[in-house]
Structure 1
Amino acid sequence: MEHYKVISEMDGTLQCYYICETETLEMVLEPSRYLMHKTMSNKSPNTVRRNAYSLAAYLEYLRIENKTADQVTAMEYEEQSSHFVNFLHWLKDGNHREIEEHKIPNNGTCNAYLKDVFRFYLFMEMQGKYESLKVLYYDSFTTLNSAGAKRRLRYRAFKGYLKEEERKVRAAEQNEILTLLKACTNCRDQLLILLAAETGYRIGEILGIDYTKDIDFKNHTIRIYFRDDNENGARAKNAEYRRAKVSKETFEFLMYYLAEYRKLLQSQQLLFINIAGDDAGKALDVDAVYSMFRRMEHKTGIKVTPHMLRRYFAVMRRKAGWRLEMISEALGHKHLETTIKYLNIVDDELLEASDAYYAKHSALYNVQQLL
């Protein structure tokens, strides 16, 4: 950002974000208060960070347009709609990035930025600071909730989002995983790949595993539990709790890892740590994991990410006959539709399933008697 800068500071165990003007270094109060609200609401640091950059981009756009956020609320519907559509296209052109970082963002990223901005406006409305945005509401009615209190329900109206491209993320393949495991130079990286493939956990969830509390040594299960004070910022998504069982061989390898790095692990409680350099013994963070996968790609020519290993887990469980609901629960998905996308269940597969069904149940309705 040229005129607005996102600042991050630690307040005890909380990672806090705020926005300041680069020339005066003065804090931009309303957006910064909103970011603190998000932090205190226990949103993940990554979510708050994205909100911060979304708002910093929007402030820059407002400066260019010579407008203020409260002035936008006073616009008529059509003018407001054009304002936010133009903001989306401004983002799409990459104007919100520094010159050396100039990349064209995808439509989903642009839409996510605008949704963050809309949430800020809604927060300011609830605080009594701003009027309602007309592009968000075109009708409303008042009803009573279960306690008998009046509640105002509104219909969402903004239709100007960019059409999002479908994410084309494939699942990792078993032969690729085997190649990566052989290419690793230490058992920590091997264990991380194995756990990602056998649990289906997100990388942030894996990095938040506490080896003193989350491992059931009798039943060979590993749990993820929401914590917001991990030194590496790792935490379970949606504040959820899940357990996953790993194979006997992988659990034995986990025991080998714990013995191999026993001295380094004793300095803290998280399972995955840095094993060399000045940070040896400190908790491994997400950036270090992705750096490792990039090194593996350079070494083997195989591109695999933690997310691809998560999809591998889903695909393999489906091939093994797991029900979709069970796979969805294992992955921690809120909606079954998300699991279906993970598994790439396409029209051809649905048609094949229908053919198999009607082959067994071809006379459900006695249609022949109707002819």
Structure 2
Amino acid sequence: MDFVMFGLQATLESIRVCGNGTSPSVEWPGNSSVTFQSIDAPVDVCYYIVFADLFPVLVMLVMITCAVYQILTSVFKVAILSLVVACYLAISIYEAIQERDVELTGRWLAGVLVVFFMACLIAHSQHTEATYRLDFLWKLQATEEKEEMEHLKAYNQKLLANILPEHVAAHFLSTVNSDELYHEQCDFVCIMFASIPNFSEFYVELEANNEGVECLRLLNEIIADFDELLAEEPYKYIEKIKSTGATYMAASGLTRNTCDMKDYKHVTAMADYALRIREQLASVNEHSFNNFRLRVGINIGPVVAGVIGARKPQYDIWGNAVNVASRMESTGVLDGIQVTQEVRDILAAKGYPLTCRGTIQVKGKGSMVTYFLDGPRDSMKTNNIHSNTNEEKVISVTNSNLDGSVSINVTV
């Protein structure tokens, strides 16, 4: 603290010396044995010291103040710094003409130093501006690459969801070890096979249809129409398994969220979907002037679902229920939807019209009684079925009371 006070006192004394032309002695505060005896100096020598040493430093400070603002462009900074240096050189030349300097060498060296300092600031400003421009371009490029990566990630997830069911794709995305075998047991799945048997008659490789490419294009449009129907809300329980040639395979109730064991909504959704794709194929025939006919088979039962393959994974289901559903399709009739006895019991209770085909021979199963699904459900018929069920319950209770075997009194 004493040293700071001494520095301030010495500064004030030096300013007074430059004004009066004399310099008294200065004592060190707190120590009378230390005394600084100044030397008398003329006024012009003091003026030279102030101008030659202090003024260039002030000019440099002004130049630094102008150069530190990054908002200014390099051209504008060069203009300001050139103006400041020009003013300084003009003042220096004016002072030299007035011959007020004791020595001119120091002043010319200060001018050269100021010009060199300006050149350094200009070079630094250009380098800084170039760096900021590169940083901006790099940041913009990084942002674009990040957005592109996000779009690519979303596209890959969508592509994976098209290859695998949504819950299976989520499992593989969240699992570190993707080589692990994925499988799950599904207790009550509704399986559907739908094929276009007469498509093989339509497919012909000729120069007119580009060696069969146009035939495949039409088949692709038909399968794409079937896929688009699955995006609708009533068919949210259904998951496409695969399409092989002109055969389309789908299943419902593969997860806990889609398997409805109370109202069997996944079974009714599959029945509605089978009727819908039959209508869709009829619409395609109307616009393409063809006569494609659909053959559908539906069955329910337990299956094992899993993914086979690592680099090219494929989701599929296996089980006796799948085989029976395939036999329902292969032994069916054109424009018919053949179902098993278990499917018939569920659909009949929901009001769907069905016709008994009778007993047929099924490979690997022997004789089976099958049914044809004739059309969509009838809401009035569903209400009548529920009312008849309630009446039968009342009659059975009444009969038991008349027989006297069981007597139950219920008070509500």
TM-score (norm 2): 0.17
More strand per residue: 2
When you count helix as a share of all residues, which structure comes out higher? 2
TM-score (normalizing by structure 1):
0.19
Highest RCO, 1 vs 2 (Cα 8 Å, sep ≥ 6): 1
